[in-house]
Amino acid sequence: MALLWLVLVGGIVVVIHGVWFGRPALRKLKYSRQFSKLRCYAGDELEMVETISNEKRVSVPWLRLESMMPVSFVFRSGSGMDISQGEIYQNHKSIFTLKPFTRITRKHPFTCTQRGIYPLNTATMTGGDLFGVWRSTKPIPLQMSMVVYPSLVNVEDLPAIYQVWQGEVEVSRWIVEDPFLILGVRPYGAGDPMNRIHWKASARTGELQVYKQGWTADPQSWIVVNIQESADMWSVVTRPEKIERALRYAATAAVDAIGRGLPAGFAHNGYHVGGGRDTLRIEPDYGTPHLERLLEAMAETELKCMVPMEQFLNDEVRLNEEAQQIRSYLLITSYVSAAMEHEIARLHEQGHRVTILPVEDVKGNTKAVSA
DSSP string, 98-120: E-TTEEEEEEEEEEE-S-EEEE-
pLDDT for residue 345: 95
How far is the CA of 164 from the CAs of 141, 167, 263, 357, in angstroms?
50, 5, 17, 10
Q: Which helix (H) or strand (E) holds 203?
A: helix 199-205
Q: What is the C-alpha separation between 132 and 134, in angstroms, rounded?
A: 5
Portions of the chain given CATH number 2.60.40.1530:
28-149
Q: What is the C-alpha separation between 162 and 6, in angstroms, rounded?
A: 84
Q: How many CB atoms lie within 10 A of CB 48?
A: 22
Instruction: Point out which residues pair with 152 in neighbouring strands.
Output: 369
pLDDT for residue 57: 87
Contact assessment for residue 131 and residue 15, using Cβ atoms and an 8 Å cutoff:
no
* pTM: predicted TM-score of the whole model, two decimal places: 0.80
Within 8 A by CB and 6+ apart from 38, the residues are: 144, 145, 146, 147
Q: How many CB atoms lie within 10 A of CB 39?
A: 15
Q: Is domain 28-149 annotated with CATH 2.60.40.1530?
A: yes
Query: Which amino acid is residue 128, in one-letter code?
Result: G
Portions of the chain given CATH number 3.40.50.410:
152-173+217-369
**Regions of the chain with pLDDT less than 70:** 1, 3-24, 78-80, 131-132, 170-183, 213-219, 324, 362-371
Q: How many CB atoms lie within 10 A of CB 44?
A: 19
* Domain 152-173+217-369, CATH among 3.40.50.410, 1.20.120.1780, 3.30.70.980, 2.20.25.90: 3.40.50.410
pLDDT for residue 364: 46
What is the chain's Cα-based Rg? Answer: 31
pLDDT for residue 365: 47
Q: Which helix (H) or strand (E) holds 28?
A: none
